[in-house]
Amino acid sequence: MSATTTSTRTSNGFDGAEKLPCMNPATGALIREIPIATAAEIEAMAARAREAFPSWSGLSVERRGELLLRARDGLVDRREEVLDLLVQETGKARMDALADLLVLGETISYYTSHGPGLLADKTVSARLLKNKRIKVQHMPRGLVVNISPWNYPLDLAWSPLIPALLAGNVVINKPSEVTPLISLKFLDILREAGLPEAVAQVAVGFGDVGAALIDRADYVAFTGSVATGRKVAVRCAERLVPNTLELGGKDPAIVLEDANLERAASGVVYGAFFNSGQTCTSIERVYVVEEVYEDFVDRVIRLTRTLRQGVDAGFTVEVGAMIFPRQLEIVEQHLKDAVAKGAQVRTGGRRNPDFPSGYFFEPTVLTEVDHTMDVMVEETFGPILPIMKVRDAAEALEHANASDYGLNSSVWTGDKDRGRAIARRLEAGNVCINDCLINYTAIEAPFGGVKNSGIGRRKGEAELLKYCHAKTVLEDIFGASREPTWYPYSRAVGEGAVKAIGVLYRSGLGNKLRNILG
Ligand code: NAD
């Protein structure tokens, strides 16, 4: 692909002096340079957004939903162009790029269809306040900032902001400095759909742009590494700004002796090498019960050797490029450390020499690994699949849980009950039984991590409601001239209340009375 240079003005109208080069990692070609937002521009963006907030939040949920559905139509109409840019900007396989489109489309569908019901006022019946009417309203927070990474640069830039917009917030995305173009492309689509310019904006730049936005946000959604997530959390804490952190993973797969080995091997290879292993929910370590270890490893190696790697010319490769040299270096360091400690490279194990101008690392399978090696304990985020032999399910579970991370995980077994029992004991936010990765597309279900993998949840009802303050509004119904508990206090009311507490909160009689009162 040849380098092209077009206008440097972004969709937000920036024309800053400092430019960001956007590269194609599969070819090394420059795609375009775009200006980085200056401090003054960030300030102006936040001010514009705040000005737009009253009118945007004043629209009905249905109207906001209509505009988002129109954007979904625009995304569908321009899907080939969007896929082209995704592949160009990330170097990923075209099939892998489909995930971005699918998840963003599904996110818009889910929230526009369920949002009006979820955001409607809710009536609450309080046992002690039968003479009052209580409603919960959902008040949008204001300016929601989403700071996103490069690995799914369309989905992770905009899917967290769809529920925020629907709830009536104004939003700014700070895309990864490595992949800003696809975020700007969807910004164009939103504008063509009729979203006012100040309601949704994109601030291009490095970490300092993200940090400056946190200082102006009312809510921060962050997806990225643990190290940056910690900095984001500290900055948010200084301003008491609520946030959600979706961070890294070191996802284990457990293969038991009763597994369908053909499915387990295919699933594990796919889960490890999809998006060149650069998925937060990639399978990064495998524990296989010794009875089936040799058979499983043979199948994995055979399948891995069939994977086609290269620059995708339209669904022609399974494994694309990695994102940038730093990511390749991490893979190489983990590999070197593992080999020095006794690991065996069973296939792959080097940069792909057929593509010297791109960042390609061959899909690699390692055996004879253990937890002294970085590749078994640190997030690698690359196409390396280490497989460890274990005695039994108990040992596999112990190793799986011996991690600072807890994002996704999988267990492969012919006995679903056994799989469910292990799922219950896995210390992770998500578990797949005889499956992998695909749970991320269930927009209806909560998604997130435990331990260092994150704080809070995305998707489902929670992701819409977190962008609102729940406001409880209590109304007196009968309009009496005073309440019995107001001034002046009286002995009769006080002693009556003491008796009532004795009855209400004592088990036995109290339980019966509570049941009668409802
Ligand atoms: P990163 O942490 O380097 O960067 C993420 C974003 O944070 C970028 O936009 C970056 O510019 C910005 N940033 C950097 N410093 C900042 C600061 N001080 N203040 C505010 N913003 C700052 O992550 P990355 O390399 O882009 O992404 C890869 C990581 O993301 C992996 O660890 C992966 O596991 C994780 N990830 C997690 C999920 C999930 O859902 N849990 C999904 C995808 C990726």
Shortest-distance Cα residue to atom 39 of ligand 1 = 246
Whether residue 437 sits in one domain with residue 291: yes
The domain that contains 46 carries what CATH number? 3.40.605.10
Whether residue 439 sits in one domain with residue 311: yes
Whether residue 514 sits in one domain with residue 441: no
Whether residue 243 sits in one domain with residue 256: no
Establish if 9 belongs to a structural domain: no
Whether residue 291 sits in one domain with residue 189: no
CB–CB of 375/384 below 8 Å?
A: yes
Establish if 355 belongs to a structural domain: yes
Active-site annotation holds for 177: no
Whether residue 324 sits in one domain with residue 283: yes
CA 113 vs CA 45, 77, 103: distances in Å: 30, 21, 15
Ligand 1 atom, smallest distance to 248 CA: 34
Whether residue 84 sits in one domain with residue 226: yes
Q: How many CA atoms lie within 13 A of 337 on its CB side?
A: 17
- Tell which residue, 246, 271, 260, 290, has the closest CA to residue 438: 271
Establish if 53 belongs to a structural domain: yes
Establish if 110 belongs to a structural domain: yes
- Identify the pLDDT of residue 9: 45
Whether 255 has a pLDDT exceeding 90, the answer reads yes
Please, what sign has the CA dihedral across residues 379, 381, 382, 384? positive
Whether residue 100 sits in one domain with residue 27: yes
What pTM was computed for the model?
0.95
In a mutational test of the pocket of ligand 1, which residue from 184, 223, 243, 452 has the highest number of ligand atoms less than 8 Å from its CB?
A: 223
| 211: containing domain | 19-247+460-469
CA 57 vs CA 113, 139, 390: distances in Å: 18, 9, 56
Per-residue pLDDT averaged across 387-399, rounded? 98
Per-residue pLDDT averaged across 61-79, rounded? 98
Indicate the number of domains in the chain: 3
Active-site annotation holds for 280: yes
- Identify the pLDDT of residue 511: 65
Whether residue 497 sits in one domain with residue 430: no
Whether residue 343 sits in one domain with residue 236: no
Whether residue 188 sits in one domain with residue 273: no
131-153 tens-digit pLDDT: 999 999 999 999 999 999 999 99
439 lines ligand 1 (CB under 6 A): no
201-252 tens-digit pLDDT: 999 999 999 999 999 999 999 999 999 999 999 999 999 999 999 999 999 9
Establish if 484 belongs to a structural domain: no
Per-residue pLDDT averaged across 67-96, rounded? 98
